[in-house]
Amino acid sequence: MSGTSTNFHLPDECWESVFKFLNKAHYLDTLSLVSNHFLSLTNNLVSSLKVSDKTQTLPRLLTRFPNLRSLDLWHFKGDLHALLLQLSESPSSSLDSLNICIRNAFPADGFRALAPKMQSLKSLALSNIGAPITIADVLLVLQCFPSLRELDLHCYKRGDSNNAASQGPVSDTDIEALSLALPKLRKVKLCGDYLINDSLLFNLCKNCEFLELVELSECRMVSQDGIARAFKLRPNLTSFLFGNRLKPDISSVFIASLVSLKQLTCLKLYSTVSDELLFSVARSGLPLRKLFLSNCSGYSYDGISFLLSKCRLVQHLELCYSAAFLEDKHIKELSKLLGNLMFINLSGCYQLSYLSFFFLTMNCPLLNEINMGEAYFYIPENELLDSLTDSDIIVNFQVKSLRLSSNKGLMDDNVEILAKICPNLEILDLGSCKRMSNGAVEVLKICPNIRYLSLFSHSEVDLSGMQNFQFPNLEVLRLSLSEIDDKALFIISKSCPGLLEALSPVTNPLKGALPKAGDFPPLDAHGLSKTTAYSYHMFRL
Mean pLDDT for each consecutive 10-residue tract of the chain (541 residues)?
54 74 66 74 80 69 82 89 86 83 92 91 92 90 95 76 50 92 96 90 96 93 93 96 74 93 95 92 97 92 98 97 94 96 96 90 96 83 53 84 92 90 96 91 96 90 92 93 87 91 47 32 34 30 27
Mention every residue, 6+ apart, whose C-beta is less than 8 A from residue 408.
376, 377, 433, 434, 435
Alpha carbon 306 to its chain centroid, in Å, reads 29
Instruction: List, as one string, the DSSP characters of 18-81.
Output: HHHHH--HHHHHHHTTT-HHHHHHHHHH--EEE--TT---HHHHHHH-TT--EEE-TT--S-HH
What pLDDT score does 26 carry? 63
Q: Are strands 48-50 and 70-72 parallel, antiparallel or unpaired?
A: parallel
The pLDDT of residue 509 is 29
CB atoms within 10 A of CB 15: 16
Yes or no: say if 43 and 19 are a contact pair by the CB < 8 Å rule.
Answer: no
DSSP 391-437: GG----SS--EEE-TT-TT--HHHHHHHHHH-TT--EEE-TT-TT-S
What is the C-alpha to C-alpha distance for residues 386 and 29, in angstroms, rounded to an integer? 50
Decide: 178 and 142 in contact? Cβ < 8 Å.
yes
Q: Give the length of the chain.
A: 541
d(CA 312, CA 454): 33
Nearest to 158 by CA among 199, 100, 197: 197
Q: How far apart (Å, rounded) are the C-alpha atoms in residues 37 and 210?
A: 44
pLDDT at 486: 87
- Give the orientation angle of helix 252-259 with respect to helix 275-284, to 10 degrees: 30
**How far are the Cα atoms of 139, 506, 518 from residue 480, in angstroms, in the given order?**
46, 9, 9
DSSP state of 493: H
Q: How far apart are alpha carbons 432 and 479 in whole angstroms?
A: 10
CA distance 528 to 521: 9
**Amino acid of residue 5:** S
The Cα–Cα gap between 344 and 296 comes to 16
> What pLDDT was estimated at residue 513?
34
Q: Which amino acid is at 515?
A: P
Q: What is the pTM of this model?
A: 0.84
Number of Cα atoms under 13 Å in the Cβ half of residue 533: 27
pLDDT at 169: 65
Cα–Cα dist 305/311, whole Å: 10
Rounded-to-integer distance, Cα 354 and Cα 28, Å: 40
- For residues 303 and 274, the answer to whether their CB atoms sit within 8 Å is yes
User: At 173, which amino acid appears?
Assistant: T
pLDDT at 517: 31
3-state DSSP call for residue 246?
coil
Residue 288: how many other CB atoms lie within 10 Å: 23
Q: Which residues pair with 154 in a beta bridge?
A: 127, 191
